[in-house]
Structure 1
Amino acid sequence: MGQTIELTASDGARIAGYRADPEGPAKGGIVVIQEIFGLNHHIRAVCDRFAAQGYLAVAPAMQDRWAPGFEVNDYGPEQFAKSRAFFGSFRPEQGLADVAAAVEVAKEAGKVGITGYCFGGMVTWRAAHAGLRLAAASGFYGGGIPNYIDLAPTIPIEMHFGDRDTGIPLEQIEQLRARYPQVPVYLYPAGHGFFNDERQSSYDAASAATAWQRTLDFFAQHLQ
């Protein structure tokens, strides 16, 4: 259903991306932001799922500036370590430029939303603050909330967290709720990474299904 494309950011950087088109007329565009594991099989599958729902989905390869083609699919300890090394090179401004490049493609379908997981959840929150010609955002278990809590969203956004996430304490989630009572913040009986059905150690089918439907409903409300 999808294909690999090239994206060009405003600073001239060229990165890979994945594009999945719906079979019929598009309802809108969705930018999908990866976990720290690269533009891997799971993220491409998420794009395909959005395309099956009628959206043009575009995922930028957020690590391509430092490790072109980086992709992890087995989620073992060694691969986790390699993935985390990415944070030493990541620059938020460059990340937002890469998101904007994906938006430029996705807007062919009309209004554009953004969603992301783990690292991508954090990028989604920052993108919702920056605007980037986005219309809505749905972020999943973005870490480091206290670091970005002052970045008030400028577009409609919802957030999804697991109440058993050892990396994101409940106190941080409650801080977010208290600061932005207008933002729907959903808690699920699950841990970190509960949406990734290729990580069996953390995947929670019931929570993932509920979060997926909420995301679809949210985008239907704001993009169509």
Structure 2
Amino acid sequence: MASLTIQASDGSGSFGGYLALPGKTPAAAVLVIQEIFGINKVMRDLCDGFAAQGYLAFSPDLFWRIKPGIDITDQTEAEWQQAFELFQKFDVDKGIEDLKASLTTLRGHEACNGRVGSVGYCLGGKLAFLMATRSDADCNVSYYGVGLLDHIAEVKNIAKPLLMHVAREDGFVPKDQQDEVAAAVAANAHVTLHSYEGQDHAFAREGGAHYDAAAASTANQRTREFFARNLRD
């Protein structure tokens, strides 16, 4: 693993994360946006996977303003409680600013060719959606984003490709809210939404309670093809 330090745009400090380098550079980059468990093995493995596909992959520590270095799992009740406490304390707007700072730093990295996309899961799925509405990332992928209805007025700002993976049986996002979001993004030609029938939240998290290998394989293949279309030369 290489190291990367990001300076916060508001001057409040700096933060790091997990950086995985591809075998050949310069290459396009992918911002891998964390769930509520910090930069844990799941996020590191995702970065390594994107690096194996030929991308510079970086997962920034977005909880650094609360407590740096959070690395927990979804395997115990105590860790879930800690994760939800972090989620409640997390400032979404500052998180987006930290992601935009990460985007700028990645674009200028010697191993990057200047093209950068994002992909996020759970909390990160919400943030990837907001990167599509608030940043100039070349493309973005949202896996089962939460709380998107609160930001539906921003759909009109999406000007770059956005791919959305929605768990139809998501325990954190009622179906009526899913339907409202789907109707809103349908009006924007830059957005492609796939709904996965019978799937619950985090169906693509290996080792998770709701992991479904078939649905995860389908979603991840769609993501692979999406990045190939929008980040490759």
Q: What TM-score comes out, normalization by structure 1 length?
A: 0.93
- Residue 29 (str. 1) matches residue 38 (str. 2): no
In structure 2, the residue corresponding to 1:184 is in which secondary structure? strand
1:150 aligns with 2:139: no
In structure 1, what is the Cα distance between the partners aligned to 2:106 and 2:215? 27
Q: Residue deviations 1:82-124, cap 9 Å, x none?
A: 1111133222221012102221233232211001000000111
Q: How many residues align?
A: 221
The aligned counterpart of 1:121 is 125
**Where in structure 1 are there 5+ consecutive unaligned residues?**
none
Matches within 5 A, 1:37-186: 37-107=37-107, 108=109, 109=112, 110-131=114-135, 133-152=136-155, 153-181=158-186, 182=189, 183-186=191-194
Structure 2 CA distance for aligned equivalents of residues 150 and 75 of structure 1: 36
Alignment partners' CA distance in 2, 1:124 and 1:99: 9
- By how many angstroms is 1:161 displaced? 1.3
* Residue identity matched to 1:145: L
Whether the 8 Å CA contact 2:74–2:80 is kept in 1: the answer is no
Deviations 1:10-38 (A, max 9, x none): 11221121110100134411001000000
**What does the per-residue CA deviation read over 1:111-167, in whole Å, with 9 as the maximum and x for residues that have no partner?**
110010000001111111112x31000100011121111112232101101122121
Contact 1:57 1:106 in 2 (8 A): no
Find the residue that maps to 1:160 and give its secondary structure: strand
Query: How far apart in 1 are the matches of 2:103 and 2:121?
Result: 17
Amino acid at match of 1:159: M
> Post-superposition shift, 1:4?
4.2
CA RMSD of aligned residues (A): 1.5
Partner of 2:9: 10
Q: 1:74 to 1:179 in 2, by over 3 A?
A: closer
Sequence identity of aligned pairs in percent?
34
Structure 2 residues not aligned, in runs of 5+? none
AA partner of residue 124 (structure 1): A
- The normalised TM-score by structure 2 is 0.90
Q: Secondary structure at the match of 1:180?
A: helix
1:214 to 222, 228, 233: 222
Is the contact between residue 33 and residue 114 of structure 1 (CA under 8 Å) also seen in structure 2? yes
1:125–1:139: 8 Å Cα contact kept in structure 2? yes
- The aligned amino acid for 2:49 is R
- Summarize the Cα distance change of 1:179–1:168 in structure 2 as closer, same or farther, 3 Å threshold: same
